């Protein structure tokens, strides 16, 4: 009896400068997508959100991006909504992977907390000015909240600006890490790839860290990095 292959499902939160390249790459790879964004296309978006043109002005970003992926043979649906903790179970559904491309710290923490609590892989991407960072999370490793602890007031792309090609570059890295996670590649699991200034250096700083002992997200995780004692590298010669 032949076993029918299962479809990998991913939720992408944000359909803008980061979410666009991520969705296009994952859709082309055959991943079934749910795209979540509550915003509409504006003229000021077009220099960095390459998936849209002036013909798309005023349309919901989530549904328009999903239509593009479907038109190229992929599977996607758009939901005009904002990811919040109260709607996370509804929006996350049975996704195997959650990818954040939003421009909001609260949203990033809400996504991380939900993914950790539900044992899902997740990727969180951010871009600002000339650089950005991407975090890859899997069950059983230190999480996004272990590193950053809590949201802080930070400038958005609208406030501080971002060089147009930067979001494409960071989005490409996020898509590559996401595809690696769903295929079982854990090379960068639990690590933050930080690109300080892509105009000068293309290679990221890879930041690895231990789980924070008092992390409230990891304490509730079904597969917690706090369940086992840390391995001391010096003890394994």
At 4, the pLDDT band (50, 70, 90 cuts) reads very low
Whether pLDDT at 29 is above 60: yes
- Report the CATH number at residue 78: 3.40.50.720
Structural domain for 145, as ranges: 9-235
Q: What is the pLDDT of residues 110-154, one digit of tens each?
A: 999 999 999 999 999 999 999 999 999 999 999 999 999 998 876
Number of domains making up the chain: 1
Q: Is residue 1 part of a domain?
A: no
Q: Which residues of 108-129 are buried (b: 16+ CB within 10 A; e: fewer)?
A: bbbbbbbbbbbebbbbbbbbbe
More confident residue, 229 or 130: 130
Query: Reduced to 3 DSSP states, what percent helix, strand and coil does the chain have, rounded to the nearest 5?
Result: 35, 20, 45
pLDDT band at 188, cuts 50/70/90?
very high
Q: Which residue has the tokens 């933050």?
A: 192
Query: Does residue 4 sit within a domain?
Result: no
User: pLDDT tens for residues 35-59?
Assistant: 999 999 999 888 889 899 999 999 9
Q: Is residue 2 part of a domain?
A: no
Q: What pLDDT is recorded for position 5? A: 47
Tell whether 190 is covered by a domain: yes
Per annotation, catalytic residue among 121, 146, 157, 215: 157
Q: Is 75 a domain residue?
A: yes
- pLDDT of 158 > 90? The answer is no
Q: Is residue 157 part of a domain?
A: yes
Say what the pLDDT of residue 2 is.
44
Mean residue pLDDT across the chain: 90
The total of other beta-carbon atoms located within 10 Å of residue 70's CB is 15
Answer yes or no: is 110 within a domain: yes
Query: How would you class 90 by CB atoms within 10 Å of its CB: exposed for 0-12, middle for 13-18, buried for 19 or more?
Result: exposed
231 vs 21, residue with greater confidence = 21
Respond yes or no: is residue 157 known to be catalytic. Answer: yes
Task: Supply the pTM of this predicted model.
Answer: 0.90
State residue 47's pLDDT score. 86
């Amino acid at each position: 009896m032949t076993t029918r292959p299962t479809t990998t499902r991913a939720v992408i939160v944000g359909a803008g400068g980061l979410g666009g390249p991520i969705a296009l790459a994952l859709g082309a790879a055959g991943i079934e997508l749910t795209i979540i964004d509550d915003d509409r296309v504006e003229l000021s978006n077009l220099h960095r959100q390459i998936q849209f043109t002036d013909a798309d002005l005023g349309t919901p970003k989530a549904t328009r991006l999903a239509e593009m992926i479907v038109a190229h043979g992929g599977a996607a649906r758009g939901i005009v909504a904002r990811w919040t903790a109260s709607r996370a179970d509804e929006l996350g559904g049975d996704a195997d992977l959650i990818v954040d491309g939003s421009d909001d710290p609260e949203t990033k923490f809400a996504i991380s907390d939900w993914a950790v609590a539900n044992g899902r892989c997740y990727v969180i991407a951010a871009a600002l000015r000339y650089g950005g960072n991407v975090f890859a999370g899997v069950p059983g490793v230190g999480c996004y909240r272990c590193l950053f602890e809590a949201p802080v007031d930070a400038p958005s792309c609208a406030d501080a600006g971002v060089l147009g090609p930067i979001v494409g570059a960071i989005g490409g890295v996020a898509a590559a890490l996401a595809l690696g996670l769903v295929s079982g590649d854990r090379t960068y699991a639990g690590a933050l790839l930080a690109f300080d200034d892509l105009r000068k250096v293309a290679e990221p700083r890879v930041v690895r860290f231990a789980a924070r002992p008092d992390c409230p997200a990891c304490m509730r995780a079904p597969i917690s990095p706090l369940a086992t004692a840390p391995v001391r590298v010096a003890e394994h010669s």
